[in-house]
Amino acid sequence: MRGPRAFARTLCRGAPALWPRGREGARGGSVVAGAKNAQAQQLQQQTVLVCPGSPSSSSFSSSASSSSSSSPSSSAVLLALRKHFLPVSFHTAAWDMAPGLDVGSGTRDGGLLNSYEAEPDRVAVIGSGNWGSVAARLAATNARRLPYFQDEVRVWVYEEKLSNGELLSDVINKTQENVKYLPNVKLGPNVVADPNLETAVKNATMLVFVMPHQFIEGICQKLKGKIRPDAKAISLIKGMEMGDDGPRLISREISEQLGIDCSVLMGANIANEIAVEQFSEATVGYRDDKETADKWVQVFGTPYFQVTHVQDVEGVELCGTLKNIVAIAAGLVDGLGMGNNTKAAIMRIGLKEMILFSKLLFPSVQDATFFESCGIADLITTCLGGRNRKVADAFSKHGGKRSFDELEVELLNGQKLQGVLTAKEVFGLLKAKDWEESFPLFSTVHAIATRHLPPSAIVEYSERAPRKIVLFNLYNFGAATSFPVSRRSVSPSKEERSVPPTQMSPSQLMEDARQIKNSASI
């Protein structure tokens, strides 16, 4: 298969008559065919096409008044060039500004083709559930539209036999629709479902991981030695693994097992809403490689799905992980029939615990990350909707008599619940570090999920123990603890108030919380 450079050389040498009139001979002219308005004419001045190998590296130009006789042929050539050569730095909004415009464009170093020494990136999606199908649809839309991605997007499908006897992957390829996990939504003609993991990722340079987090270790084991060494990964998985050495984020697990860079994408992303193109946002978290982060924005970003990036992988990922525990608490409140005031209080308490937990584990986590889509926005939408809130609501309405596992099977149509497992893993760490009392909401959610406490305990502790409240040290960002109600107020000393919250380390925050707890009396 001939590459872009050979393709361009053929066009420039062998078919000069196809171009609109004008060959000025200066390196870096413009090519514009069919400009129909003033906007297009302005855009014409900003577009560049350089064809190495043609005599004196000629440039070609035309105005909006080019003769109609040459337009059809030049348009056909330019459409092909646009697909193969439009550089990454050329913002795709240009096509929205001038939809009738056919443009070949080049950038730095005087050469369009210099940015295309390599083949376009190939995207593969590992996982085909509800969110995985939506991610594939977004990637496929941009792969068809943008020249720096290969058209085909392969999706690894965990093969299932449907009720009619057909295989899920066959139905997806036949109908362009994931009839089980995302019915009535077309994924796109360039989405290919593949039940073979090895062939699904073959030659892929951009790997999208989107599956329940409890399966990631097994998947990575199967992928070892099967992926390109220069591949980049991104995790859309919300959860964490607990190892002997403590918590391990999914992005770190992928990076270490496969030896590749792994970013994350999190946000207020209820899949069914994005599937029907309702406006929403997401956040890409990256470590050091901003160029790759820019690529991930291009993979997923659309006018209705706005994606930004921040250099804070741990912060972005922990937001997406911990909010599921808070969503369980919100669902329990709904099932108890309580109102918006109670749910708002639960969400606020949950956000405080999310911030403190994240900073204790990773001091580099940025405060600003919690105000991105991956933070407060994702927390709000998950507590108002989503599978964790839904199942917790049902659990609470049944008085805790039916297990989360049972309700998951009944209500989620094969999807997996993340909040209960995450609560278990987080509580294991809290207990190991003697942090339970500093995280009353997280601890209580786990106790309810394991049936050690009734659903009502989310807002009221067991009557067998002294009634407790949650006290937030308002003078120190994120420090929280629980203790028996005191008959006297507890306030920090002048010396404590003199220390700005931003100057306190996570260990200081924890020590401050413990001191407040110990100073309280009944």
* Rounded Cα–Cα distance for residues 399 and 379 (Å): 25
Q: Return the sign of the alpha-carbon dihedral for residues 430, 318, 197, 207.
A: negative
pLDDT at res. 423: 93
Q: What is the DSSP annotation of 80-147?
A: HHHHHH--TTS-THHHHH-TT-EE----TTT-TGGGGSSPPB-EEEE--SHHHHHHHHHHHHHHHH-T
Please give the DSSP secondary-structure letter assigned to residue 240.
Answer: E
Between residues 247 and 266, the one the model is more confident about: 266
Which pair of tokens denotes residue 469?
Answer: 């409240």
* Cα atoms in the 13 Å half-sphere on the side-chain side of 290: 2
| Helix residue ranges, H only, 336-438 | 340-361, 378-384, 387-397, 404-411, 419-432
Kindly report the CATH number that applies to the domain delimited by 123-311.
3.40.50.720
Q: Quick one: how many helices (H) and strands (E) in the chain? A: 20, 16
Please give the DSSP secondary-structure letter assigned to residue 51.
Answer: -
Q: How confident is the model at residue 510 (pLDDT cuts 50, 70, 90)?
A: low
Are the folds of 123-311 and 317-468 the same?
A: no
Our CA angle for 106, 107, 112, nearest 5°, is 40
Mean pLDDT within 314-338: 95
Q: What is the CA radius of gyration of the chain?
A: 27
* Rounded Cα–Cα distance for residues 16 and 511 (Å): 76
Phi-psi region of 286 (alpha: psi -120 to 50; beta: other; left: phi over 0): beta
284 strand-pairing partners = 265, 309
Backbone angles phi, psi at 49, to 5 degrees: -140, 125
Q: Which of 54-68, 127-141, 244-258, 455-469 has the highest mean pLDDT?
A: 127-141
182 strand-pairing partners = 178
Place of tokens 């149509």: 413
131-159 per-position pLDDT tens digit: 999 999 999 999 999 999 999 999 999 99
Q: Which residue, 421, 432, 420, is CA-closest to 246?
A: 432
* Rounded Cα–Cα distance for residues 26 and 248 (Å): 56
Q: Which residue, 249, 257, 155, is CA-closest to 209?
A: 155
38-56 per-position pLDDT tens digit: 333 443 333 333 333 333 3
Please give the DSSP secondary-structure letter assigned to residue 436.
Answer: G
pTM of the model: 0.68
Least confident window among 23-37, 226-240, 284-298, 399-413: 23-37
Mean pLDDT within 45-71: 36
Which pair of tokens denotes residue 282?
Answer: 């997401």
On average, the pLDDT of the chain sits at 74
123 strand-pairing partners = 206
Share of the chain above pLDDT 90, in %: 58
pLDDT at res. 244: 65
98-122 per-position pLDDT tens digit: 333 332 333 323 333 333 346 899 9
Q: Return the sign of the alpha-carbon dihedral for residues 153, 154, 160, 165.
A: positive
pLDDT at res. 241: 77
- Give the three-class secondary structure for 207: strand
238 in Cβ contact with 264 (< 8 Å): no
pLDDT at res. 9: 37
Between residues 171 and 13, the one the model is more confident about: 171
Tally of residues, the chain: 522
pLDDT at res. 31: 30
Mean pLDDT within 464-468: 36
Residue of 323, 343, 352, 359 marked catalytic = 323
Place of tokens 């050979």: 6
Provide the residue ranges of all domains of the chain, joining segments of one domain with +. Answer: 123-311, 317-468
Q: Which residue, 287, 293, 281, is CA-closest to 373?
A: 281
59 in Cβ contact with 50 (< 8 Å): yes
Q: In Å, how far are 190, 226, 267, 480 from 124, measured between CA atoms? A: 12, 13, 21, 42
For the purposes of burial, counting CB atoms within 10 Å of the CB of 53, is it exposed (0-12), middle (13-18) or buried (19 or more)?
A: middle
Amino acid at position 106, single letter: G
Q: End-to-end distance of the chain based on CA atoms, in angstroms?
A: 79
CATH topology of domain 317-468: N-(1-d-carboxylethyl)-l-norvaline Dehydrogenase; domain 2 (1.10.1040)
pLDDT at res. 349: 95
Mean pLDDT within 455-466: 64
219 in Cβ contact with 231 (< 8 Å): no
Give the orientation angle of helix 250-258 with respect to helix 216-223, to 10 degrees.
Answer: 20
State yes or no: pLDDT of 483 exceeds 70. no
Question: Percent helix, strand and coil across the chain, each rounded to 5?
Answer: 45, 15, 40
Amino acid at position 410, single letter: E
Which pair of tokens denotes residue 5?
Answer: 């450079």
pLDDT at res. 311: 97
State yes or no: pLDDT of 86 exceeds 70. no
310 strand-pairing partners = 285
pLDDT at res. 245: 67
Is 222 a known active-site residue?
Answer: no
List all residues 6 or more positions away from 289 whose beta carbon is below 8 Å from its beta carbon.
232, 261, 263
Least confident window among 238-252, 278-292, 465-479: 465-479
Which pair of tokens denotes residue 377?
Answer: 């926005």
372-422 per-position pLDDT tens digit: 999 999 999 999 988 999 999 999 999 999 999 999 989 988 777 888 999
- In this structure, the dihedral spanned by the alpha carbons of residues 397, 399, 405 and 411, taken in order and rounded to 10 degrees, is -10
* Rounded Cα–Cα distance for residues 419 and 317 (Å): 14
Mean pLDDT within 288-315: 96
Pairing of strands 153-156, 191-194: parallel
Mean pLDDT within 221-228: 95
* Rounded Cα–Cα distance for residues 384 and 324 (Å): 12
Which pair of tokens denotes residue 82?
Answer: 């646009």
